[in-house]
């Protein structure tokens, strides 16, 4: 059973399309301890720590989110004024409270260098014309374009994230 949905004026969402967020800085630079931990977890490397530290100059490109992903918890309130965040809040306010990433296309332009300070911005590329069907319910699709840069402004990665906001589905209980 779906939660009650409120009226949604799609023009409010459409007005946000094409707008880009401010630059969001990563909290930490690309660093050897994180690269080492990643390599150990995926069993990619068997060098000693001293060799690893001396020889490592780059991070695997797929580690990008290690430094740029928002913290799981934070005393700081996330920026609600960014276009993509406003679109999500509009959908949540209309009863589409659950966000699901359904596709992610990643383009890594080069390896990340140890010591680089990363940042990113997000552009809302598009909003579905109406509800789309998913396996967990009906909702609206948002297309988000992420651009990741280093401190010199060089683009190191671009990603297209397809996100669907669906209404919550109540769990059925057995008695």
Angle at 23 between CA 106 and CA 162, to 5 degrees: 35
Mean pLDDT of 115-125: 97
Mean pLDDT of 100-127: 95
Q: Is residue 118 part of a domain?
A: yes
User: What proportion of the chain, given as a percentage, has pLDDT over 90?
Assistant: 57
Q: Is residue 175 part of a domain?
A: no
Q: Is residue 129 part of a domain?
A: yes
Q: Is residue 73 part of a domain?
A: yes
Domain coverage including residue 77: 10-166
How confident is the model at residue 58, as a pLDDT? 86
Question: How many domains does the chain fold into?
Answer: 1
Residue 171 has pLDDT above 90, yes or no: no
Helix (H, G, I), strand (E, B) or coil at 143: strand
Q: Report d(CA 63, CA 15) in Å as an integer.
A: 34
CA distances from 18 to 58, 78, 96, 156, 170 (A): 33, 21, 22, 21, 34
Q: Is residue 3 part of a domain?
A: no
Q: Is residue 58 part of a domain?
A: yes
- State pTM to two decimals: 0.84
- Give the pLDDT band of residue 46 (cuts 50, 70, 90): low
Q: Is residue 88 part of a domain?
A: yes
Residue 1 has pLDDT above 50, yes or no: no
Residue 152 has pLDDT above 90, yes or no: yes
Q: What is the mean pLDDT of the chain?
A: 86
Q: What is the CATH number of the domain that holds 151?
A: 3.10.129.10
Residue 61 has pLDDT above 90, yes or no: no
- Give the pLDDT band of residue 109 (cuts 50, 70, 90): very high
């Amino acid at each position: 059973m779906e939660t009650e949905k409120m009226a949604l004026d799609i023009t409010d969402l459409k007005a946000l399309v094409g707008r880009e967020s401010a630059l969001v800085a990563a909290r930490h630079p690309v660093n050897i301890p994180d690269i080492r931990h990643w390599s150990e977890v995926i069993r990619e490397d068997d060098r000693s720590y001293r060799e690893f530290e001396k020889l490592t100059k780059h991070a695997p490109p797929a580690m990008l989110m290690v430094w740029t992903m928002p913290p799981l918890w934070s005393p700081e309130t996330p920026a609600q004024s960014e276009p993509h965040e406003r679109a999500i809040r509009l959908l949540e306010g209309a009863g589409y409270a659950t966000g699901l990433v359904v596709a992610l296309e990643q383009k890594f332009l080069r390896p990340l260098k140890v010591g680089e300070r990363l940042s990113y911005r997000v552009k809302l590329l598009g909003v579905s014309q109406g509800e789309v069907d998913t396996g967990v319910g009906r909702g609206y699709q948002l297309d988000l374009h992420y651009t990741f840069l280093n401190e010199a402004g060089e683009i190191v990665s671009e990603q297209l994230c397809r996100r669907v906001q669906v209404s919550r589905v109540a769990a059925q209980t057995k008695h």
